[in-house]
Chains A and B, each alone.
Chain A
Amino acid sequence: NAGVMQNPRHLVRRRGQEARLRCSPMKGHSHVYWYRQLPEEGLKFMVYLQKENIIDESGMPKERFSAEFPKEGPSILRIQQVVRGDSAAYFCASSPIGQRSSGANVLTFGAGSRLTVL
């Protein structure tokens, strides 16, 4: 009964390198959300994807960041040319349903990927 799986759990990169973070949603979930958490802060929404579709990327920085959720395989959050300010914990969450007009969407979070940029 695997939950949301994220890897790597810890990633160290030097400035200018690329970081790739992977997220496999829970079985049966087709909606994926990425959040970023800076030290001592809450989670900030980055992007919402369904299979092969980016639904909402309003929280993604305009440059260097991209996300995908292919038909097969995990969702990937890619950060190009990392800078020290990218150091954070990146959390992926999944849900079985997406936007609803009422009620609540239940998100299951992974354990996160902690990126450290030297």
Chain B
Amino acid sequence: TQLLEQSPQFLSIQEGENLTVYCNSSSVFSSLQWYRQEPGEGPVLLVTVVTGGEVKKLKRLTFQFGDARKDSSLHITAAQPGDTGLYLCAGAQWTYKYIFGTGTRLKVLA
């Protein structure tokens, strides 16, 4: 059973466009993290959200945790080729164990 579903699975856009990636679940999470993974490398943590309704901004990236703590979104403004990568959400349920989503593979074309 996959607890965290990400959509879309694949996304190819032109430089300068905006995009939103979704991470959905029917389960409640105590915290949720977003990672970016580049080919041949490990995931790198972008952000952690712990409060329902929380919004965090990291330069052109905006992360939101749903009010009910069951879902999250990542919005990128004016995407750049350097944003290309695999975006993973990961949720924890009051424990150390993070469950990873299926991932969204983003490609930004110059």
Nearest-CB residue, chain B, relative to A45 = B97
Q: Is A17 among interface residues, defined by CB-CB distance under 8 A?
A: no
By the criterion CB–CB under 8 Å, are A110 and B42 in contact?
yes
Q: How far is the CA of A45 from the CA of B95 in the complex (A)?
A: 13
Residues of chain B contacted by A4 (CB below 8 angstroms): 42
Nearest-CB residue, chain B, relative to A105 = B96
In the complex, which residues 99-117 of chain A have their Cβ closer than 8 Å to any Cβ of chain B?
99-112
In the complex, which residues 3-42 of chain B have their Cβ closer than 8 Å to any Cβ of chain A?
4, 30-31, 33, 35, 40-42
CB distance from B13 to the nearest CB of A (A): 20
Inter-chain residue pair count (beta carbon < 8 A): 66
| Dominant secondary structure at the A interface | loop
Q: Is A14 among interface residues, defined by CB-CB distance under 8 A?
A: no
Q: How far is the CA of A10 from the CA of B101 in the complex (A)?
A: 25
Q: How far is the CA of A42 from the CA of B31 in the complex (A)?
A: 18
Q: State which of A45, A91, A105 has its C-beta within 8 Å of the C-beta of B42.
A: A91
Residues of chain B contacted by A103 (CB below 8 angstroms): 30-31, 50
Q: How far is the CA of A48 from the CA of B95 in the complex (A)?
A: 12
Nearest-CB residue, chain B, relative to A42 = B100
Q: How far is the CA of A93 from the CA of B45 in the complex (A)?
A: 11
Asked whether A99 and B96 contact (CB < 8 A) given A41-B102, A104-B33, A106-B48, the answer is yes
Q: How far is the CA of A112 from the CA of B35 in the complex (A)?
A: 15
Residues of chain B contacted by A25 (CB below 8 angstroms): none
Q: Is B68 among interface residues, defined by CB-CB distance under 8 A?
A: no
Residues of chain A contacted by B35 (CB below 8 angstroms): 109
Q: Point out residues on B near A: beta carbons under 8 Å.
A: 4, 30-31, 33, 35, 40-45, 48, 50, 88, 90, 92, 94-103
Shortest Cβ-Cβ A-B pairs, 7 listed: A109-B42, A104-B31, A42-B100, A43-B100, A104-B48, A99-B96, A42-B103
